Structure 1
Amino acid sequence: MSLKIRLTRGGAKKRPYYRIVVADSRSPRDGRFIEKVGVYDPMKPKDDPARVSLESEKIQAWLAKGAQPTDRVLRFLDAAGLAKRPARNNPKKAEPGQKAKERAAARAEKAGAGDDAAA
């Protein structure tokens, strides 16, 4: 049984409220869970301490048992100092794609040919 520490959505339409739970990875997002270990209220201001509330002892116990946090929950745990989130670095993200490079090369070639004809 693979355990995940993840968010389950609650609240009304357009007013999300999330519980941070430990659940089997095969269960549905809002389905059965093993234990509730915190809450996340995205409607509160970012500087509000009640925006994310975690039960650190329970979370540490589940992490010791092998539960894997999802990306979003790992951000919360990193901010609380309960887990370390590795820094991501993708230097190729801003690089244009293959087709864009081909178009730019064609444009440069066309502009170069136009300059030669004008001279």
Structure 2
Amino acid sequence: MATKIRLQRGGAKKRPFYQVVIADERCRRDGRFIENLGYYDPTKKPAICKLNKDKIIDWLGKGAQPTDTVRQLLKKEGILENNTQAA
């Protein structure tokens, strides 16, 4: 089973709110997920990004691949700098 670290959209129309989740890559964007790793709220100034670093590093060690957007968030939070495998 190939897993991805990706964003799951929530919130109302024109008011996005995202959860950072681990999901099987075959599942839909807002479908079933394995574990919730945090959230990202771009509507606030500045944008709020709350992530569980320990869980993310654990999943990256297990071979989970972040999507491009999540990879940018992880770099911004300084998580990918600590884990050289995922870069």
Candidates 70, 74, 78, aligned match of 1:73: 70
Aligned counterpart, 2:43 = 43
Report the TM-score, using the length of structure 2 for normalisation. 0.89
Aligned-residue sequence identity (percent) comes to: 54
Aligned counterpart, 1:22 = 22
Write out the 4+ residue segments of structure 1 that deviate beyond 2 Å after TM superposition. none
Aligned counterpart, 2:54 = 57
Greater per-residue helix proportion: 1
Question: How many Å separate the matches in 1 of 2:76 and 2:29?
Answer: 23
Unpaired stretches in structure 1, ≥5 consecutive residues = 87-119
Q: What is the RMSD computed on CA atoms of the aligned residues? A: 1.5
**CA shift for structure 1 position 45:** 1.0
Question: Which has the greater radius of gyration?
Answer: 1
Unpaired stretches in structure 2, ≥5 consecutive residues = none
Residues matched between the structures, number: 83
1:38 alignment partner, SS class: strand
Aligned counterpart, 1:34 = 34
1:83 alignment partner, SS class: helix
Report the TM-score, using the length of structure 1 for normalisation. 0.66
